[in-house]
Structure 1
């Protein structure tokens, strides 16, 4: 039972958790970010429109890269709600919120209610979690599924409950069908690490884990079936420039271990320090406390191994080390261990008793908050977002006032002063990004902007042609009619005139030089918005990087 003191310490937290949930929905209607987000959305759109939940198709060609689960869920959402930005993003956000719920359950089971509530808040206000709920790919699904699997497997170990084992296997199978076999690393790392470090050998080699493996194997059969039907049953298909490609082999080996060892068809370059500096910004504003928490946990834990839980540290650090050793690294890979990071951070923060340490953390976090606020002010000054309305300004002013007032309600030696200051700063930063910055930034994703214009103005339903470009999926997702894609220079099989054409102004000029009559309809400016550069951020120099795009009628 919670004491009155504990209840008093958590009275604000429910309100802020509700607000954090809303914060993660603020990106729901922002256009989907290219290239990966729009690519995934196009695959799900094609799946829903064709009623084909077996084959993954891009540009009428077979696509072999990611497993099916997130596409199944997004396509089902399209079936229910129609094809739209929010219908694509909604399932991912809900899976992420499910991850928040399971983070609460696991933290409460391992520690107490106060740690559990702060764990949820830390998770839901971490920078890359909020970003991933705007730029939805596989990670929101995976984050929710992995922490759910760990929770149920841990309960199966504690209580010997077969139903918990079943649920753990279901969530694990869904995680594997989202990202591949590496999803087993944080799940297995958490359970195996805890049992091995605490020397519970009998529990580690218990027959229940063999049963779990069998159940997982059964539950991933839909993925195996789809891969067999699309690839293994058709060795004549050309994939990665060759025939006789096994989708099942790719799923179990090439997509995971092939990337890890850089021997698969999709290669990258590894940097052992990549995820250290990635964590610094991706887990903001909690990352510095996290590093202190991990150091403190390991330092004190080795002195009292049997009395500590090792789930979170094992699941997160094993995954972290494996990703760091990999040759294929991307920032969003790390999201899946953020629930563990949140619990580690919360239990450390709340358990602080040394006054000197509390003061040091307060000083560091206050400095960090000031840096974040200055960064937002600089972004506003240089970027000059078009979508910054008066109601957005009022919202930010209210939160800035709360930032100035609420932390002062707590004593300087109370961890809550620093915690709430850090928490509210996360709200200020991400409200600005999702209400002003990203809506303005996506105006330069010309494909989605042009598609919306064409949907409204192509009343004659003229055939639509687009010249190939990197990350051209925004047009393909947002357009509400068939789309023909020709070569980058405009060459290729064109429909009979008249037709509508979207592409760079230089390609339009080349069509005109070939004798076509051109009627200009609309102009747009394109920039690869997921690759920001200082020159683009600066409003004064932005035009130098923009590519003029045109919608024309070709006769």
Structure 2
């Protein structure tokens, strides 16, 4: 069995690694830095119903993330960690809601396993510092699923109202998908139970009315910003109605072709990305999914009253819907990771805490031993080679982590299963090294935060700063706490302080002979890592050199 002490130790360890990422790693371009910049701009302009990005109309995401992050920065100041705090709290809510949802149908061990699986999935460590809407969305959706399940069992109004309030919160975070996932999760569950009366309960109307009421402030903002001013261009497309765009085009337009974005459309894209984002549990999850489907087939698609298919059905239907979209990104599937965690926990329990799937123990241990060893070797390589300036003790610490993992895999001690202990130790340990050493050094090569640090250190006049023929970095506007405009050559004056690529300096020198270089640096798109960049010997060919210059000398 899994003791309270074990759960406490695992979750506290995760919490410490989360916090390392929140406080040590700068915001990454594009999404996280963009959303932080929008939140800062909202706070500065006190424009809470109309959303702007670098002074221009913004329609891509609903405002909940911006509202809560702006509030956090109002309380704590404009810091990257302040931007992350609301999403961090919702991620913790997702872990707790997953535990409570599992506990409604399973024993304490499975519920605790589900919480630990979600908390230690690789995606969770990533989205605690690379904060996008999906971090907060996961919390809203997990809460709505838990409360709806409670309501179906107890018929308490507080559960129903809280569930639909959470749905409204999720819709104001990332759109109608927050309403659809509970439908996708409970519809198969109800059908397999043949519990048809649950499809036609009048209480749903009360819940939907509550959701509609909570959506009014956001809807007013959309109407004022777009419907009253039709024809505004967003991504080069004229928008006639902000309300229609939000409630239809942004979500359902991904299937009709109306949506502007058309990324990665093949069916297995999200599953391929789960191979890393749901580490170290992905193989156990896939096996658990297989057995869940096999079991329901054996039962002739009839679910006993004491079992649930919310987790399996919810994951499968949501995946199929998302995978048919014409626009997919790896983090879109994170919304159902709480359900994946429950599926995984059920499988782990059947393998390691009963004799039901006893023959699976040895293959799982062997395969994962190889995976864990490869992960620790990768960490050692990342600590040893890309950034030679790291402290001498970091790489040996990674070696000690590898040795400890081997010891845990083959230990004979009682208590937590050795495989689970090794898996937890590996994923927490790996992310400790990534958050403490790798990412902070990697982000030194990001344009926005490094240039903003120079601006502050040299106390440059921000009103004179301009950007000229250089890549856009939302991190620059956030960390500089100022929107630095772009200018073309003909508009430049000798009073300007220009941030530009070094290749543009000879041309500027011709027009401004007295030009003075304030700073020279280099940057790289850190979200698109490559081996030539990670190799110090070839890095100089991969980075872009830039400079900050005073045109008037």
Q: Structure 2-normalised TM-score?
A: 0.93
Larger deviation: 399-408 or 415-424?
399-408
Aligned twin of 1:442: 443
Q: Aligned partners of 1:477, 1:40: CA distance in 2, in Å?
A: 9
Larger deviation: 43-52 or 497-506?
497-506
- The correspondence for 1:552, drawn from 537, 549, 553, is 549
Aligned twin of 1:370: 373
Aligned twin of 1:19: 13
**SS at structure 2 position matched to 1:484:** coil
Q: Offset at 1:10? A: 4.9
Gaps of 5+ in 1: 1-5
State whether structure 2 residue 121 is matched by structure 1 residue 123: no
Q: Offset at 1:198? A: 1.2
Aligned twin of 1:78: 73
**SS at structure 2 position matched to 1:551:** strand
Contact conserved, 2:270 with 2:323, CA < 8 A, in 1? yes
Aligned twin of 2:321: 322
Q: Offset at 1:535? A: 1.4
* CA shift in 2, pair 1:536/1:229, >3 Å: same
Aligned twin of 2:391: 389
Aligned twin of 2:265: 270
Larger deviation: 498-507 or 311-320?
498-507
* CA shift in 2, pair 1:391/1:378, >3 Å: closer
Q: Offset at 1:398? A: 6.3
* CA shift in 2, pair 1:302/1:531, >3 Å: same
Q: Aligned partners of 2:419, 2:226: CA distance in 1, in Å?
A: 54
* CA shift in 2, pair 1:452/1:476, >3 Å: same
Q: Offset at 1:515? A: 3.0
State whether structure 2 residue 181 is matched by structure 1 residue 182: no
Gaps of 5+ in 2: none
* CA shift in 2, pair 1:219/1:468, >3 Å: farther
Q: Deviations over 1:401-453 (max 9, x none)?
A: 643444555469x8711111111110121112111111111011022101111
- The correspondence for 1:508, drawn from 497, 505, 510, is 505
Q: Deviations over 1:462-511 (max 9, x none)?
A: 6111225444211111114452222xxx42533x5333211111223321
Contact conserved, 1:410 with 1:416, CA < 8 A, in 2? no
Q: Offset at 1:326? A: 1.1
**SS at structure 2 position matched to 1:215:** helix
Q: Aligned partners of 2:479, 2:436: CA distance in 1, in Å?
A: 21
Q: Aligned partners of 2:380, 2:10: CA distance in 1, in Å?
A: 24
Q: Deviations over 1:316-362 (max 9, x none)?
A: 11111111111111001111111111111011101222332111111
Aligned twin of 1:3: none
CA RMSD of aligned residues (A): 2.1
- The correspondence for 1:288, drawn from 283, 291, 309, is 283
Q: Structure 1-normalised TM-score?
A: 0.93
Q: Aligned partners of 1:517, 1:504: CA distance in 2, in Å?
A: 18
Q: Aligned partners of 2:489, 2:106: CA distance in 1, in Å?
A: 64
Alignment of 1:398-409 (within 5 A): 399-400=401-402, 402-409=404-411
Q: Aligned partners of 1:378, 1:398: CA distance in 2, in Å?
A: 14
